[in-house]
Amino acid sequence: MVIKKVNLDIVIGVTSAIPDTEFPEVAFAGKSNVGKSSLINALMNRKSYARTSSQPGKTQTINFYNINDAMYLVDLPGYGYANASPAVKAKWGKMIEKYLRQSANLKQVFLLVDIRHDPSENDKMMYNWIVDNGFRPVIIATKLDKLKRSQIAKHVKAVRAGLGLKEDDILIPFSSQTKQGLDELWNTIEGYIGQ
């Protein structure tokens, strides 16, 4: 995708209605700190447009980045703050569920997990939740540059096994630092949005 124009068009909070957008959407989910902002910035070819390093307690919003007036990259709020209150967690869950259920233009959900670690209980819950909402999520295994080349296959296998992926489920190893996986990711996104 040649990025000509990016704009944060829509930001919605817990009480907002899910917007009727004009363009197809793909959404990104993952625990906080997994590298979601960095990945979205890499996709947009920007250094720091998407909010980075989410802090505990910061506003939980869903952000819609308009790409070339052709599609949206949708940044879902990160999960897994150990110290988030049950009220915050409940609000977070409701907002994401509403989005997954109600967005008419959502074409695919990408779930980010750290390639170095076995998926957490929260990762598995999120995966199952996305599946329950009718999607077969594409997994993005982030921070690929932190592994030695010889370790990659073993870690990919562990992530696949941990999430219970089927053979034809897609997993893309990715690094925002080296941009490994970026072309494959864009090709995959374009496949879902029909471009």
- What are the residues binding ligand GDP (CB under 6 A)? 30, 32-38, 52-54, 78, 142-143, 145-146, 175-177
Q: Which residue, 33 or 70, has its beta carbon nearer to ligand GDP?
A: 33
Half-sphere exposure of 177 (CA within 13 A, CB side): 7
Question: Minimum CB separation from ligand GDP for residue 55, in Å?
Answer: 9
- Could you give the 3-state DSSP secondary structure of residue 1? coil
Question: Minimum CB separation from ligand GDP for residue 137, in Å?
Answer: 16
How wide is the angle at C-alpha 139 spanned by C-alphas 136 and 142, nearest 5°? 165
Of 76, 5, 100, nearest to 44 by C-alpha is: 5
Question: Minimum CB separation from ligand GDP for residue 36, in Å?
Answer: 3
Question: Minimum CB separation from ligand GDP for residue 139, in Å?
Answer: 15
Q: Which residue, 76 or 193, has its beta carbon nearer to ligand GDP?
A: 76
The answer for residues whose C-beta is within 8 angstroms of residue 75's C-beta and 6 or more apart is: 27, 28, 36, 37, 40, 50, 51, 62, 63, 64, 65
Using Cβ positions, the residue closest to ligand GDP within the complex turns out to be: 35
